[in-house]
Amino acid sequence: MAIVAQTPDILGERQSGQDVRTQNVVACQAVANIVKSSLGPVGLDKMLVDDIGDVTITNDGATILKMLEVEHPAAKVLVELAELQDREVGDGTTSVVILAAELLKRANDLVRNKIHPTSIISGYRLAMREACKYVEEKLATKVEKLGKDSLVNCAKTSMSSKLIATDSDFFANLVVDAVQAVKTTNARGEVKYPVKSINILKAHGKSAKDSYLLNGYALNTGRAAQGMPIRVAPARIACLDFNLQKTKMQMGVQVLVTDPRELEKIREREADITKERIQKLLKAGANVVLTTKGIDDMSLKYFVESGAIAVRRVRKDDLRHVAKATGATVVTTFADMEGEETFDLSLLGHADEVIEERIADDDVILIKGTKNSSAVSLILRGANDYMLDEMDRALHDALCIVKRTLESNMVVAGGGAVEAALSVYLEYLATTLGSREQLAIAEFAESLLVIPKVLSVNAAKDATELVAKLQAYHHTAQTKADKQHLSSMGLDLSKGIVRNNLEAGVIEPAMSKVKIIQFATEAAITILRIDDMIKLVKDERETEED
């Protein structure tokens, strides 16, 4: 790119130096300002309408940014940042974007004051390392000290900013039960909680409080034919990924027939091939057949006669999860090495029972008592689609947070406590350094305060006063040995006071905070390093010659 920039007749625009930086910072600020008002327990929701008129109502940072069509390349970095946070931790997407934008803004001010970006970057990196170390050593508390309530409290804290905040007691217990139900131990002896084994089904009607946890994996489809049994126990499950319909010749295969009577034989053979396949399945002992493709009426007859349940058009993801939970193998073809078609008993999965139930207006297939890992399903009830979708997103965040808490076992106080403590600590750290990173670390410390500030602004409280009180508490906690318990002082946004959030049960996994700081710093550094932007324009002359 640089070589192109040196040629005298470069095609395109080139901006460099301070112009680009300011432009990038403004773009990132714009993105952060969109999600800013949705942070915290009193954050507001956004309504997003796409080009075909579909409406999404949400205050989940990652969802908002995913739905926006961001043109500016630097702002896209923030969108990817929110997605990364969503993938890694599951919650904290709004905080990470706000923090990254604030770090950038302050870095830009330093560059204007003639401090080289490289110094700022090394200062930010140092501050990030120190901050993460401080969280893990001084601010984090082991979950064992707080008991099972801490899991429920983590889930409640995660939900506090969402639509279901009013029923957070009820949903937090649901979430904790669901995550603990899918506990598995892998080959290395590590305990894992695969959130993917929790299937979330959305059903209209009733109130949100009527949602419940089902023991078993629920598929959002019914039996393929009414004549099939409603319940099969014990179930032997075959997972297929091909059509059980009348076999047709492949495209491009031609059959030349001289005798018209042969035609009928070809048709019969086509029908027989499918029949043989189904009989191989049934002979192996399968009494539940799930396929991602279709099953035609002629084939259904065989399943009905043998008293098996067949389900067609199962989602690929669902099929994979069922296969994993029951120990089945997803079969894409019956052909074996010799070219014969066989189906072996070992490919079947096992479950205690498979049963069809009616939930709201839909039939669902429940797979209960799976062999390998236990699978559970959350059945959500709610007034309309928007509400159900938002509940789904809120529960996904809460499930991820509980999983992270269980796997990492460390929690910190929420409500701006960590940010204020780090700000005070880094402020002091900056004064002990005699190098040029000092200013960058001081700005990093200031940037962290953006979280408690935004929280209190959203709650319509006096931000300046609350943040000042918070800093005073943390300063005392860090300077006086007997006042260390003050390090979990955070904001209570409903009353507009400062309180001990660890005791009040406003807690988050320490890992979530560490990742927010790491990701936000990395994103800010990435954008800060840019000092040249070249937009290339296609050369008209070349196209004419072509």
Q: What tokens appear for 50 in the block? A: 């796409």
Q: What are the Cα distances from residue 56, in Å, to 226, 250, 306, 317?
A: 36, 43, 46, 24
176 versus 255: the higher-pLDDT residue is 176
Would you say residue 5 has pLDDT above 50?
Answer: no
How confident is the prediction for the chain on average, in pLDDT? 83
- What are the tens digits of pLDDT across the range 203-234? 887 888 888 888 778 887 878 888 788 888 78
Which residue among 60, 86, 91, 492 is the active-site one? 60
CA distance 492 to 146: 20
**Is residue 114's pLDDT more than 80?**
yes
210 catalytic per annotation: no
Residue (of 154, 133, 132, 134) closest to 143 by Cα position: 154
102 — pLDDT class (breaks 50, 70, 90): very high
Question: Structure tokens of 250?
Answer: 């492949």
Mean pLDDT, rounded, for 154-181? 84
Distance, in Å, from the CA atom of 25 to the CA atom of 27, rounded to the nearest integer, reads: 5
The pLDDT assigned to 166 comes to 80
Residue 175's nearest CA partner among 160, 195, 191 is 195
Could you tell me if 515 and 85 are in contact, meaning their C-beta atoms sit under 8 angstroms apart?
A: yes
Q: Is 327 left (phi over 0), alpha (psi -120 to 50) or beta?
A: left
Cβ neighbours, 10 Å, residue 332: 10
pLDDT at residue number 543: 58
Which position has the higher pLDDT, 159 or 7?
Answer: 159
63 is catalytic: no
pLDDT band at 150 (very low <50, low <70, confident <90, very high): confident
Alpha-helical segments (H) within 12-148: 18-36, 61-67, 73-88, 93-112, 117-134
| Region 522-528 average pLDDT | 89
From its phi and psi, is residue 380 left (phi > 0), alpha (psi between -120 and 50) or beta? Answer: beta
- CA–CA distance, 364 with 239 (Å, rounded to integer): 17
Mean of pLDDT values over 84-95:
84
User: Can you give the pLDDT at residue 99?
Assistant: 92
pLDDT attached to residue 88: 83
From the number of C-beta atoms within 10 Å of its C-beta (0-12, 13-18, 19+), residue 253 rates as exposed
More confident site: 7 or 254: 254
Q: What is the pLDDT of residue 3?
A: 39
Distance from C-alpha of 298 to C-alpha of 302, rounded to nearest angstrom? 8
CA neighbours closer than 13 Å in the CB half-sphere of residue 281:
30
Question: Which CATH code for domain 217-373?
Answer: 3.50.7.10
Between CA 387 and CA 57 the distance in angstroms is 8
Question: Is the pLDDT higher at 272 or at 338?
Answer: 272
Q: How far apart are the C-alpha atoms of 497 and 490, rounded to whole Å?
A: 9
Q: Active-site residue 221, yes or no? A: no
**DSSP code for 136:** I
Pairing verdict, β 184-185 and 288-291: unpaired
pLDDT confidence tier of residue 1, bands split at 50, 70 and 90: very low
For residue range 247-293, what is the model confidence (pLDDT) as tens digits? 676 777 777 888 877 778 877 777 777 788 888 888 888 888 888 88
Q: Where are the domains of the chain?
A: 11-142+412-535, 217-373
Give residue 381's pLDDT. 87
What pLDDT is recorded for position 539? 66
- pTM as predicted: 0.82
pLDDT digits (tens, 9 = 90+) for 194-208: 887 788 888 887 888
C-alpha to C-alpha distance for 269 and 311, rounded to whole angstroms: 25
**pLDDT at residue 521 in the model:** 92
The identity of residue 352, as a single letter, is D
pLDDT of residue 186 exceeding 70: yes
Q: Which residue has the higher pLDDT, 150 or 48?
A: 48
Give the CATH number of domain 11-142+412-535; options: 1.10.560.10, 3.30.70.890, 3.90.550.10, 2.60.200.30: 1.10.560.10
Exactly one of 56, 93, 221, 405 is catalytic; which is it? Answer: 93
Greatest CA separation for the chain: 101
Which of 123-132, 239-248, 280-289, 462-471 is the least confident region? 239-248
CA-to-CA separations, 283 to 228, 268, 287, 301, 303, in angstroms, rounded: 18, 22, 10, 16, 12
Q: Which position among 56, 58, 63, 94 bears the catalytic label? A: 94
Nearest to 444 by CA among 424, 468, 464, 417: 424
Q: Which of 110, 195, 189 is nearest to 155 (CA)?
A: 195
Q: Annotated catalytic residue: which of 291, 397, 492, 521?
A: 397
Burial of 396 (0-12, 13-18, 19+ CB in 10 A): buried
Give, in order, the Cα–Cα distances in Å from 215 to each of 218, 233, 350, 362, 487: 9, 16, 16, 18, 41
Residue 363 annotated as catalytic: no
**Across 9-23, 161-175, 231-245, 461-475, least confident range:** 9-23
Confidence of residue 11 (pLDDT cuts 50, 70, 90): low
In this predicted structure, what is the pLDDT of residue 2? 42
